[in-house]
Structure 1
Amino acid sequence: MLSETIEKALNTQIHLEANASMKYLAMATWAEVIGYNGVAGFFYNQSEEERVHMLKLVKFVNERGGKASIPSLDAPKDTFKDLHELFTVFLESEEQVTESINHLVFQTLEEKNYTVHNFLQWYVAEQAEEESLARTILDKLKIIGNDKSGTYLFDKDIEGIVAQTEINAKNE
């Protein structure tokens, strides 16, 4: 059973995950249109991951006797100055999701709702991975700077990350 407070917080998280999915879809579109196919593939995958995270929450809320609230979505930013800005927005988005998850975990401990707390541990681990990935990518972009050849190779590196992610997903 979910308290009203926890149910509301989980529904807020559903909204964040849905918005992140649409934000990453807009980022993929921006990258694809200007020719960064590796980056586009990366963000298409990120968009799908966030949608799956949202669905997992929706099902959990409903299975625990609550009612998942399907949110209307905010219009995502769809224009970026460059890849550095794009990935900075990605990191900021992941940090926002992490902050929300951490707040939700704290609420579950306050209410001694260990079932929800346990469920959220997967999200805690996932967010640590996502933030680490975003920081690693931003570090690479800082090294590259404005070097066009470096940017081209970076896009190819991201294609490799996407391919490895797809292989890992098939093996799970």
Structure 2
Amino acid sequence: MKDLVRLRSSVKESVELALNQQIQMEMVSSSKYLAMAGWCDRNGFDYSAGFFYKQSDEERNHAMKIFHYLSDQGGTAHSPEVPAVEQEFDSLRAVFEGALEQEVAVTDSINRIIMVCRRENDFATDELMKWYVKEQMEEEYIARRCLDLFDQIPADQIFELDKQLASVTYDGNPFE
């Protein structure tokens, strides 16, 4: 019976495991960004809070995209357990440093999934992951640019940085 179930799935076990780990990572990212949004709200950084609420939603959507893909391919997608995340930060800069650190970790994980896909000749999942590669380029770019702003704005004008986040969008590829 197990062989029949495996035949119904076009996703190899190693790829399925990696994708389920990525679902968890995306949900952890969502939880971290929600905590960052809450910290920003508590500390008067309204626009930064809005930015991180949006990021939290995006990360959940990233997880759901993989979840649905796995299910659609006949694999088993697991609802992940999400551990507690840090709720307090030393500064707004520390929040953004944490965001960049998380995005770099997600990028590394996406790259590992692609290596597994290529080893297993799983071209369909490899194709799906191309979208995530582009998304991670954008996510890291935005986080780095936000941190660059900290170096350009005097510490006593940090609320100006917060206001600038209301207009942060990304429409292109920084590598074109």
Instruction: Please tell me whether Structure 1 or Structure 2 has the larger radius of gyration of its CA atoms.
Output: 2
**Corresponding position of 1:136:** 145
Match of 1:53 among 52, 62, 65: 62
Q: Which amino acid aligns with 2:102?
A: S
- The 5-angstrom pairing of residues 16-165 of structure 1 reads 16-145=25-154, 147-149=155-157, 151-161=158-168
Q: TM-score, normalized by length of structure 2? A: 0.89
Summarize deviations over 1:35-61 as a string: whole Å, max 9, x none.
Answer: 000000000000000010010010000
**For residues 40 and 95 of structure 2, what CA distance do their matches in structure 1 show?**
9
Q: TM-score, normalized by length of structure 1? A: 0.91
**For residues 160 and 2 of structure 1, what CA distance do their matches in structure 2 show?**
40
**Which residues of structure 1 form unaligned runs of 5+?**
none
C-alpha root-mean-square deviation of aligned residues, in Å?
1.2
Task: Quote the offset at 1:144 in angstroms.
Answer: 2.4
**Which residues of structure 2 form unaligned runs of 5+?**
1-9, 172-176
Displaced runs of 4 or more, over 3 A:
none
Instruction: Check whether the contact 1:37–1:159 (CA below 8 A) recurs between aligned residues.
Output: no
- SS of the aligned residue for 1:74 comes to coil
| % identity of equivalent residues | 38
Q: Which amino acid aligns with 1:37?
A: D
